[in-house]
Structures are given as structure tokens and as C-alpha cells.
Chain A
């Protein structure tokens, strides 16, 4: 059991569906992240929240919408996705800047868009 929990572990959704990914951390960290992991590609940073405020959005399509209601919870709301959005979505947290201590990752949500 890691300190970062992601649900669901697997998700299959149609292109017209709306779904949400959930991430929860109990480490007392003050920053949370969404990463996308596609086959044969480096991990791509999608969103960064620090002290519950979004500080970075790396030009992610608007069909992905993050929400951070408090320092322990992070959501990724999905709507009208495309098949190329199929990937492993990883949540991570850190205390302060990530490079000081590194990230703690969750196990990810394997998303398949059909």
C-alpha cells in the first residue's frame, strides 16, 4: 500500500462519456501532480497543484479538467476523450519542490478510450 492511492485502477470509457479519476495522499505533502504515461514515451506532466492552487498546466487539452479541493485530494475529470488519450494516468505528490525529495507516485489508472 503506497501513500498515494488512485481509483479506479482500470477504466474503460466511450468517447462521449464523462468520468473522473481520483487521487488521495496521506503523506502530508503540499503538492500534487497528474502525469500521463503512454507506451514508448517519456512521462508527460499534465498538471501541478501546490498548496491547492494550480501552478502549471502544460498545454493539456480542455477535455482534461483537474480539481484539487484540498491538499490530500486530486481529481482529473474526463469528457469527450479520444482513443489516443488511452494511457496510464499517474498521480504523484511531493513535499515542497519535487526535486528536493522526489515524487511519491500512486499505482495509476489504466484508461482505455473506445
Chain B
């Protein structure tokens, strides 16, 4: 069975603080893909990153970084020096070769950055 767990429902941080959003996934497939999406108040989910199961290198993009650890089935997302514009709901998602076009999404983490 495929499953994504985002245990943090809501997080509030003060501007310029660092924040980490947790994502734990379950799958028996050896080939799979992990994604993070951002959903601002406007509604559309914005793609942030895609990672395949064979690439465990961590990635940094500006203030965003991702830590992929297969040993703990986690794909955590860190925002450094948070800004008010980072306030949004963030979703982690899992896709596998056996699920075709279907992703399994977590329930999302609502991040509020307080000025």
C-alpha cells in the first residue's frame, strides 16, 4: 500500500526563522517518485521538487532544501530564513510505477510565517 504522512498539521514561525516540514512515506515499490507542492491562498498547487528513489542526494534551491533518507522513508523540506510569502499549505506526494498517473498526497502542513 502507498501512503504519505505529514504529521504536522499547522506550524507557525516568526519571519527569518528556519522551519522543517516532515514527510514520511510508505511503499513497497523499489521505483518511486516523491514530490513537494505549495498551495498558496489562491488555490493552485505549485510544483517545488521531484525526487526519484535512486537519487538520495540532498538538494538546495535558494532558501529551500530537501533531505531524502530512504533508511527512514522520509523526504523532509526545510525553508531557511522564512518569509511571509512562504505562508501556504505544503503537500508531500508519492508516485510509483505501479500507481500510474495517481499520486498519493499527504494531508498537508499549513505554514504561517508571522512578520
A and B form one complex: yes
Chain A residues within CB distance 8 Å of chain B: 2, 4, 9, 31, 33, 40-43, 45, 48, 50, 55-56, 58, 88, 90, 92, 94, 97-99, 101-108, 110
22 contacts between A and B (CB under 8 A): A2-B44, A9-B43, A33-B101, A40-B107, A42-B104, A43-B105, A45-B102, A50-B101, A56-B101, A58-B102, A90-B45, A92-B45, A98-B102, A99-B33, A99-B95, A99-B99, A99-B101, A101-B50, A104-B47, A105-B45, A107-B43, A110-B43
Q: What is the number of residues of chain B that contact chain A, defined by CB distance less than 8 Å? A: 27
The answer to whether residues A42 and B105 also contact, given A103-B47, A108-B43 and a CB cut-off of 8 A, is yes
Contact status A105-B4, CB under 8 Å: no
Q: In the complex, what residues of B have CB within 8 A of residue A31's CB?
A: 101
